[in-house]
């Protein structure tokens, strides 16, 4: 099995790359291409159908030259905000969502999303939820997320250019089917 022989080398290489990225204590952050540069667009939260669980959607763009990742989320709506990905129509919790250098992390219906759970009180259309996004590298970003109608998809007030739909390959296949599929 040649694949098995190659794996240790891949791990060594990944480790070396991580060490190279992480050891930047003495470096000047902000040099060209040296740091992620994140911005958030298109955030919305559809009024939940299930009053205890709400999905949240947004796009994080990384215009910088280094990878980053969304590692945790909090909000004033609930103390429990999870990050979920969707594989084969089943969603599952993940510990982080990657935001590649020069790329985007798109949280959208049918894909990865934020999951607000254990809601004391369901949000209604017209509310605004304050969400704090925390990243592996970048400083946290606070986003005011409008609550839209339950059927809102975020598509209609986008000005074109919504064509890239990358980054869905490469997930494992196990998936815990049978959780609620609400968002
Ligand atoms: Cu979910």
Annotate 58-86 with b (16+ C-beta within 10 A) or e (fewer): bbbbbebebbbbbeebbbebbeebbbbbb
Going from the Cα of 96 to the center of ligand 1, the distance in angstroms, rounded, reads: 14
52 in any annotated domain: yes
The CA-based angle 160-162-168, given to 5 degrees, is 175
Cβ neighbours of 89 (radius 10 Å)? 9
Q: What is the pLDDT of residue 169?
A: 40
Residue 136, domain CATH: 2.60.40.1890
Going from the Cα of 110 to the center of ligand 1, the distance in angstroms, rounded, reads: 10
Going from the Cα of 32 to the center of ligand 1, the distance in angstroms, rounded, reads: 36
28 in any annotated domain: no
Owner of token pair 């259309």:
125
Q: What is the pLDDT of residue 112?
A: 98
Going from the Cα of 177 to the center of ligand 1, the distance in angstroms, rounded, reads: 12
Enumerate residues with CB within 5 Å of ligand 1 (an ion). 84, 91, 115
Query: How many domains does the chain divide into?
Result: 1
* Ordered per-residue pLDDT tens for the chain, 183 residues: 444 444 444 444 444 444 444 433 434 444 455 899 999 999 999 999 999 999 999 999 999 999 999 999 999 999 999 999 999 999 999 999 999 999 999 999 999 999 999 999 999 999 999 999 999 999 999 999 999 999 999 864 444 333 444 434 433 344 444 444 445
45 in any annotated domain: yes
Going from the Cα of 6 to the center of ligand 1, the distance in angstroms, rounded, reads: 35
Domain extent for 110 = 35-148
Q: What is the pLDDT of residue 32?
A: 52
15 in any annotated domain: no
114 in any annotated domain: yes
104 in any annotated domain: yes
Going from the Cα of 178 to the center of ligand 1, the distance in angstroms, rounded, reads: 12
- Rounded to two decimals, the pTM is 0.68
42 in any annotated domain: yes
- Cross-strand pairs, 68: 99
120 in any annotated domain: yes
- Cα 145 to Cα 23, 41, 85, 96, 114: the distances in Å are 35, 10, 20, 20, 12
CA 101 to chain centre: 14
């Amino acid at each position: 099995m040649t694949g098995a022989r190659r794996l240790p080398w891949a791990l060594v290489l990944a480790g070396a790359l991580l060490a190279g990225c992480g050891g930047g204590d003495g470096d000047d952050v902000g040099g060209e291409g040296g740091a992620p540069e994140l911005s958030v667009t298109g955030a919305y939260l559809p009024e939940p159908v299930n009053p205890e669980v709400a999905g949240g959607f947004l796009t994080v763009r990384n215009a910088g030259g280094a990878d980053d990742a969304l590692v945790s989320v909090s909000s004033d709506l609930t103390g429990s905000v999870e990050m979920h990905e969707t594989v084969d129509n089943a969603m599952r919790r993940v510990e982080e969502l990657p935001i590649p250098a020069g790329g985007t992390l798109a949280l959208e219906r049918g894909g990865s999303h934020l999951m607000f759970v254990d809601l004391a009180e369901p949000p209604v259309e017209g509310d605004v939820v304050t969400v704090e996004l925390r990243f592996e590298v970048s400083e946290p970003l606070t986003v005011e997320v409008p609550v839209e109608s339950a059927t809102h998809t975020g598509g209609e007030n986008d000005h074109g250019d919504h064509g890239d739909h990358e980054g869905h390959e490469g997930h494992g296949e196990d998936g815990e089917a049978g959780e609620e599929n609400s968002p």
